Structure 1
Amino acid sequence: MGTYKCCLIFKRRFRWTDAPPPDDVRALFDEHSGGAATMGADGLRRYLESTGGDPDAADADAEGEADRLLDQIRLQGHQQRAGPRLPRLGRGQLLGLDDFHRFLFSADLNPPLRRPQVHHDMSQPISHYYVYTGHNSYLTGNQLSSDCSDVPIIKALQRGVRVIELDMWPNSAKDDISILHGRTLTTPVSLLKCLRSIKEYAFVASPYPVIITLEDHLTPELQDKVAKMVLEVFGDILYYPQEEHPKELPSPEFLKGRVLLSTKPPKEYLEAKDGGAVKDGDAEQNPGKGTDDDAAWGTEVPDFKTEIQSAKEEDASEHRRDDDEDDDDEDEQKMQQHLAPQYKHLITIRAGKPKGGTTSDALKCDPNKVRRLSLSEQQLAKAVVNHGTEIVRFTQRNLLRIYPKGTRVTSSNYNPFIGWVHGAQMVAFNMQGYGRALWLMHGFYKANGGCGYVKKPDFLMQSEPEVFDPKKPQPVKKTLKVKVYMGDGWRMDFKQTHFDQYSPPDFYARVGIAGVPADSVMKKTKAVEDNWVPVWGEEFSFGLTVPELALLRVEAHEYDMSEKDDFAGQTVLPVSELQPGIRAVALFDRKGNKFPNVKLLMRFEFV
């Protein structure tokens, strides 16, 4: 008779416990409390001033402000711990060590970035700024079969995106304008609906100008209809220049509250009356090519060298048609007689390139006018090999727009730094997707109060003694030290069995820099086993050669021995905006939505 083995699985339940304040927090508290068991309002004010915080948090009514902070801190503590509610404190109450720890660990009261307000000089021409730019802004999902809608446009504007792209095609009856991705299965949305939504949501997140880039596949009659529609919808907020070819673009400050159009004369309707043009090197050119590795959220963003090499290989095997915006002046002059005069008059930022077919020709600067040039990510990767300084010089006065290659059918994105370090203002991203590249974009535009315009570093605007060469090695300008103390909040935002069915999670943190190749690196802490409130206490150091463009990447994961590690949160922060000191860092989900409670306690120090 055989024997039978019986395996019993017990579901283990672990209670969480609060972690004590880190030693650095204790030392900080002792320093500003004068060694006493409590800290008064004066000590709180001294702490805020010493760390670059808001001194107004302890102003003339310092004791009352300390009471307000303390009440918020203890209320948050009660909500997180579901314990007995702490009584409301009276005026003049002092801060204890635990209260001070809760204050530091509050992402609302002690955030990692400076106060969210515009602080860059906004009076320079638009060419001096990076502009938060969307690509195919009307798509709800992939590039081939998703719906076209005004909803992703609204979401982008609510996030602070300042450049919205619309692809205009004749409708089936040829008497109106549809917005859709040409030569795909995407379902159309009307131009009028998109324009009305742009007007309604243009300035909910930022007062600075919204630029509408138009991919134009219309007949002159429909162009005229577009002009009338645009004027009717936007009225006085539509800005267009009095002169046909301005020598300099206006500033974001001058254009506050205004909407601008950017496009160039079309040619497709002359080639084929019923349309069917290839645009922007996008997916319809090669829809069967497949997807990119970084379509999945977990893949790292490719570095410069990888992207440049990939561009060379793809160029050798594929012969794509040029972007419809890259015609020379001769073709454009032939088209002027077909372009509706009023429509042409409304274009503020004109796209196109000088006569000639070489990269050097495309990057020539005309002292008498400014323009916008569009390059695919592949074209840029090839161009930077031999024309890096020419690109930098071009972007000092003109606008350069970079768009995703056509094989990104899943709406994935690319490494934005190859464009940013060469001065490209409009690095266009698919905002409806997600992934690490898009996390970088979200983080980059948290700078300057999240207004959607970030002033380019001074070195990219200098022509003397020489134009900046991105290929030249740069010395380390400053070092950022990052200490990761602990994390908390997962126990409130996730089910107890979300990460592990039978035990508490084993969290670890990843911390690193995204930037130029010399600065880009990722490091990680050890995994803390069986704890919803992990304490790491690990410090990392990052030497930065181009700190002006560097982004701090922060991720949390749960270690899984047998399967892929679980994602537990992420954020990206502009290094230039970090506040030194101990800060609470809120984490976001894969799509960039903030978790209600998940956060890390970290310290930032510049050397």
Structure 2
Amino acid sequence: MLSEEFDLMNPSYARQPYQDMTKPLTDYYINTSHNTYLFQSQVYGDSNAEAYNRVLLKGGRAVELDCYDGYDGRPIVKHAWTLQKEMARVLKEILQEYLLTEALPTTNPSVLPSPEALKKKVLIRSRQIAQATKATETPPTTETPQEEDEDDSPADPLSELTDLDFAQLLIYMRNVPFRGLEYAQTHSAMNYQTFDEHMRLNYGRFLDNGGCGYVLKPDFLTNPDSGFNPFSCDVANPGTSTLSSIHDKPWHLTLTIISAQYLVNTAIKDLIDPYVRVYTHGVPCDNQNQKTCVINNNGLNPMWNHRMEFDIAVPQLCLIRFVVLDSDKFSSDDIVGQYCVPMNTIQKGYRHVRLREEDDDLSHSTLFVHVDIQQHNENSSRASL
């Protein structure tokens, strides 16, 4: 029962990439890191090359370097400031044939290449310029202060892109402000040094497709004629909402939290009072949460047998997150373990949920659950998957 075949997530989705990798880059969610070089806090954390190793091993496929001129004329990775000519030389020297310096042959220049076509290639993203400018001049930019990150604002005019040697490395990627970006955050950069709720959701999203860092978006997000609107989803009336444009039907998820094993609160040396809270994250109508009762003084083998039911309008965009907490009457409840996974990758039947600690380390703690999934039909009846 503890083999991967009984995991909540279908192991065939986690072992290796299985999705079509020949679509344009814009058709994928891309696992992206912000301030990659920082090991701890964004404010006082030190820059450390090991941070890149950590992010890449966790599936990050877009990393960030902030460089400035060192005392010896060579680039130094540090928070803020941007180097130009020397940075271009160093990138070419180190990455060599892996650095993409020319656009790939294509019959449609307006369509980006696929992950398959770009395999083993490194792309550079930065500000693009129309022509060379003097090092003392600040080139024009289309970004406004409201559209820039506060911590990424240039320290001085030299931090703008001013050298054509570096500009020539920008083949496909450049910063372009998008209107309505808050509705289409498919390439949001995450601070890996802080494993908060958002990082847990990011981790869960990119478990899919073998953890390769690229997850293919559903057809209704890439087809301009789909008419999908995440704010007009109604499970009770699928025919009168944008759900009619989605091939897959809404789900009715019945989840029974049966028991847990070997729960430990590393922050204290005492018996714990565990309970489980289950969240679903997706389109607005799919954001729900339910919890079990508290079991006092039992972290070894607490039993709940607690049944939960969720109606999920768009399972393709939904994540399910399990959080085990230690109830505390005098302070905030500590997280004992958590796990997040894409809804459309879970298996039915009796399953074990392998919990991770608050800092994302794999623990020995597990949840034992039962999963049942039924589809909503047009007449609101349910059919088992």
Match of 2:383 in 1: none
| RMSD between superposed Cα atoms in Å | 2.8
Match of 2:239 in 1: none
Partner letter of residue 562 of structure 1? F
- Does 2:33 match 1:113? no
Match of 2:22 in 1: 123
1:61-460 equivalences in 2 (<5 Å) = 103=1, 106=2, 108-115=4-11, 116=14, 117-172=16-71, 175-182=73-80, 217-218=82-83, 223-242=84-103, 246-265=109-128, 270-271=136-137, 280-283=148-151, 338-340=162-164, 342-353=165-176, 363=178, 384=180, 422-460=183-221
- Does 2:384 match 1:516? no
| Contact 1:133–1:162 (8 Å) recurs in 2 | yes
- Partners of 2:269 and 2:303 in 1: how far apart? 18
Larger Rg: 1
Deviation at 1:133, TM superposition (A): 0.3
- Partners of 2:137 and 2:230 in 1: how far apart? 40
Partner letter of residue 348 of structure 1? I
- Partners of 1:268 and 1:445 in 2: how far apart? 43
SS at 1:169 equivalent: strand
- Does 2:306 match 1:544? no
Give the number of the structure with larger relative contact order, counting CA–CA contacts within 8 Å between residues 6 or more apart: 2
**1:153-176 alpha-carbon deviations (Å, 9 max, x no partner):** 110001110000111222245x22
- Partners of 1:553 and 1:460 in 2: how far apart? 23
| Contact 2:231–2:283 (8 Å) recurs in 1 | no
Deviation at 1:440, TM superposition (A): 0.7
Distance 1:581 1:348, change over 3 A: farther
**1:194-246 alpha-carbon deviations (Å, 9 max, x no partner):** xxxxxxxxxxxxxxxxxxxxxx733xxxx332222212211222223347994
Distance 1:272 1:586, change over 3 A: same
Q: Structure 1 residue aligned with 2:341, among 560, 564, 573?
A: 573
Specify which structure has the higher proportion of strand: 2
| Contact 1:587–1:594 (8 Å) recurs in 2 | yes
**1:60-105 alpha-carbon deviations (Å, 9 max, x no partner):** xxxxxxxxxxxxxxxxxxxxxxxxxxxxxxxxxxxxxxxxxxx2xx
Percent identical pairs in the alignment equals 26
Match of 1:588 in 2: 356
Partner letter of residue 166 of structure 2? Y
| Contact 2:103–2:172 (8 Å) recurs in 1 | no
1:22-41 equivalences in 2 (<5 Å) = none
Deviation at 1:475, TM superposition (A): 3.3
Partner letter of residue 171 of structure 2? T
Distance 1:171 1:434, change over 3 A: same
Q: Which runs of 5+ in 2 are unaligned?
A: 140-144, 154-158, 237-249, 375-385
- Partners of 2:134 and 2:35 in 1: how far apart? 19
SS at 1:260 equivalent: coil
**1:492-521 alpha-carbon deviations (Å, 9 max, x no partner):** x667x9453xxx432111112012221111
**1:308-367 alpha-carbon deviations (Å, 9 max, x no partner):** xxxxxxxxxxxxxxxx99xxxxxxxxx8xx532x433322223244xxxxxxxx54xxxx
| Contact 2:103–2:171 (8 Å) recurs in 1 | no
| Contact 1:481–1:540 (8 Å) recurs in 2 | yes
TM-score, structure 2 normalization: 0.80
Match of 1:529 in 2: 296
| Contact 1:488–1:598 (8 Å) recurs in 2 | yes
Specify which structure has the higher proportion of helix: 1
| Contact 1:138–1:165 (8 Å) recurs in 2 | yes
| Contact 1:499–1:558 (8 Å) recurs in 2 | no
| Contact 1:167–1:181 (8 Å) recurs in 2 | yes
Deviation at 1:107, TM superposition (A): 5.5
Match of 2:246 in 1: none
Q: How many residues align?
A: 341
| Contact 1:423–1:456 (8 Å) recurs in 2 | no
Deviation at 1:468, TM superposition (A): 2.9
Q: Which runs of 5+ in 1 are unaligned?
A: 1-102, 183-215, 286-323, 326-334, 354-361, 364-382, 385-390, 392-418
| Contact 1:136–1:166 (8 Å) recurs in 2 | yes
| Contact 2:39–2:46 (8 Å) recurs in 1 | yes
- Partners of 2:341 and 2:308 in 1: how far apart? 16
Partner letter of residue 349 of structure 2? G
